[in-house]
A and B are shown apart, each in its own frame.
Chain A
Amino acid sequence: MTVWLEIGGKKQRVELPTGAVTGVMECSVEGRALSVDVRMLEPGVMSLLVTDPDRQGRQYRCVLDGDGVVIGGRRYGFEVDDPRSLQGRRGAGAGTEGPRPVKAPMPGRVVRLLVEVGEDVEEGQGVVVIEAMKMQNELKSPKAGRVVRVGAAVGETVGSGDVLVVVE
């Protein structure tokens, strides 16, 4: 089967034997062959042993962390791309056309709202301040436009990714 990935801004087409996630297998990345011996030790933790003649015996402990894989103390973020849905996903939220959300980058508490619905804002203007662990973070408008929605109130606890303000 084919898995399309995006790792560090680079597209990677990975071929895996159908149905296998453990054991000895022949894989390829962008057409480059790689044979590996895979053991899933527990969900999200695996030992990957390279069995290619030139790199034989090289072992990697790989740990899944959300949308990233940690190998040798380093985290590599990845996205699974379905080429058919790529167009649609990329369209939303990009560019300066249409409404753009200001999302909470981290969980936190809203300490100040700097704008009201109907107000005109510049690109980069602070619109809301959230606080977590005694640190405040001012979130800025992604574009010039008018505030069409304020989705949070002062004192409210918000989660990562929550839409706090929408600018159109």
Chain B
Amino acid sequence: MLIANRGEIALRVIRACREMGLATVAVYSDADRGALHVLHADEAYWLGPAPATESYLRGDLILEIARRVGADAVHPGYGFLSENAEFAEACEAVGVTFIGPPASAMRVLGSKTRARQAADAAEMPRVPGSVTGLADVAEAVRVAASIGYPVMLKAAAGGGGKGMRAVTKAEELAGAFTAASSEAERSFGSGEVYLEKLIERPRHIEIQLMADEHGHCVYLGERECSVQRRHQKVIEEAPSAVVSEDLRRRMGEAATRLALSAGYVNAGTVEFLVDAEENFYFLEMNTRLQVEHPVTEMVTGLDLVHLQLRVAMGEPLPITQDDVRLRGHAIECRIYAEDPENNFFPSPGLITRLVQPGGPGIREDCAVFAGWRVPLDYDPMLSKLVAFAPTREMAIDRMLRALEEYVIGGIKTNIGLFRRILTDEDFRAARIDTGYLERLLAAGHASGSAHGEETVSEDVVAVAAALFAVSARREEAPVGEAAAESRWAEAGRREGLRL
């Protein structure tokens, strides 16, 4: 198995392969020679310079390596080449199994405009708006007038919030159209944008699917991903606190219908917006494994990467829809190298210290270590911290406990932000929608002591800081200790020679 990715997801896939007795091949850029995904692989091959366009996005080089080393399959992870139909096709052409849907299904469901047409064919409710790309501003104005403001402009090839603009009145439409289109062109190589009605205060809820090559498809419950900043997910949970058994079944069956109609195979996710009246609207389909797949694994007891690999080997799904049972509650925090105090600017650099949380119900999918230099060339996600517990409230408290244990030194992270969200009354009461986090941040720093928060007395902080300062000063001027160390080193060398 060649893993055409980096970071925590490459490591996640490598671990599954090793559990299944599959030999693993890593690829790496100049920035990643010492990365954990390389260290855990059986074989590793150099791809190119650090920028993704010269390394992890070079499908031609990756396939060339796959053929040279005799890899049977390529796992694309998420991001990079994972939703690139040409790459999937190129793999098929040379007899390398692409772990994901066939290129044809990816083409139908990966483009947002074509997916909206497929949703109509599968009789799935979707957000009102255009189902084809907009030719020009005039067409945008026409469509917007027919569905009514506010509207949202979106890139057909988009994702991650790029090429998106909310427009509240007609006068703003022309400028927003040009901006969204040029941003989409820069980010995805296609300036195609479409328009849909803006749903007020929606929740973002998505259904995890798994389909085999024999026409079976199951839905593995939902994930609530409403806590977002700039359309990037920050916290995900499973199940959603507001999805009833009935709503879950209706969304799950709609998602399954869509996947089967497009000949979908392997893991996929159908995203919905859900309004306050429990109406759900098809948003888009992600034709890959999602970042937040661990929360689904925790509550279903399934291993999605194992299932992906088995499906790709042609095996039928080992479970039916009736076997899928949700148990407990899982929450994931995406820990980013960014500075919440400085407009969330990325904070790459050397990790000088890493103290990771542990204990019951804690899972961490992470690919950094003390001494690792977080490269500035890629996504700033460092780790996914997951807490699993019998109830939502217990999972939130378990996550708070784990975050308290967590120390990442040397770079800035958003760990402090999570404490603020998880102690917020609205979050704890599950009163969240996609605008929740922006509102919380705009409200400024919460005053008073939040839930479970203990303030450390300033005297204790001062004594600790003073002791560190004194001990650091002593290290700078070595006397006894350094001499002792060198004697140990000397003894070690003697021992070594004796062996």
Q: Does A34 lie within 8 Å of B352, measured CB to CB? A: no
Question: Do A29 and B462 form a contact, CB below 8 Å, given A21-B470, A40-B471, A137-B345?
Answer: yes
Q: Which residues of B contact A72 (CB under 8 A)?
A: 404, 454, 456
**Segment of A10-18, A118-126, A141-149 engaged in the interface with chain B:** A10-18
Task: Output the least CB separation between B55 and chain A (Å).
Answer: 15
Closest to A8 in B: B458
Q: Which residue of A10, A43, A76, A137 is within 8 Å of B475 (Cβ)?
A: A43
**Segment of B301-309, B384-392, B407-415 engaged in the interface with chain A:** B407-415
Q: Does A135 lie within 8 Å of B462, measured CB to CB? A: no
Question: Do A73 and B419 form a contact, CB below 8 Å, given A64-B468, A66-B352, A132-B346?
Answer: yes
Q: Which residue of A5, A8, A14, A73 is within 8 Å of B403 (Cβ)?
A: A73
A–B Cβ pairs within 8 angstroms, 17 of them: A7-B458, A12-B458, A36-B463, A38-B467, A45-B355, A64-B468, A65-B410, A72-B454, A73-B404, A73-B415, A106-B339, A108-B346, A132-B347, A133-B378, A133-B379, A135-B344, A135-B346
Mark out the residues of chain A between 1 and 38 whose CB falls within 8 Å of any chain B CB in the assembled complex: 1, 3, 5, 7-8, 10, 12, 14, 16, 21, 27, 29, 32, 34, 36, 38
Q: How many A-B pairs fall under 8 Å by CB?
A: 145
Task: Output the least CB separation between B404 and chain A (Å).
Answer: 4
* Complex Cα spacing A48 to B474, Å: 19
Q: Report B447-474 CB contacts with A as 1/0, cut-off 8 Å.
A: 0000000101011111111111111101
* Complex Cα spacing A78 to B461, Å: 9
Interface centre among A7, A14, A43, A66, by most B CB within 10 Å? Answer: A14
Q: Which residues of B contact A27 (CB under 8 A)?
A: 463, 466
Interface residue tally on A, bucketed by range: 35 or more
* Complex Cα spacing A37 to B343, Å: 40
Q: Does A70 lie within 8 Å of B467, measured CB to CB? A: no
Q: Which residues of B contact A34 (CB under 8 A)?
A: 459-460, 463
Mark out the residues of chain A between 65 and 102 whose CB falls within 8 Å of any chain B CB in the assembled complex: 65-66, 69-76, 78, 80
* Complex Cα spacing A122 to B26, Å: 51
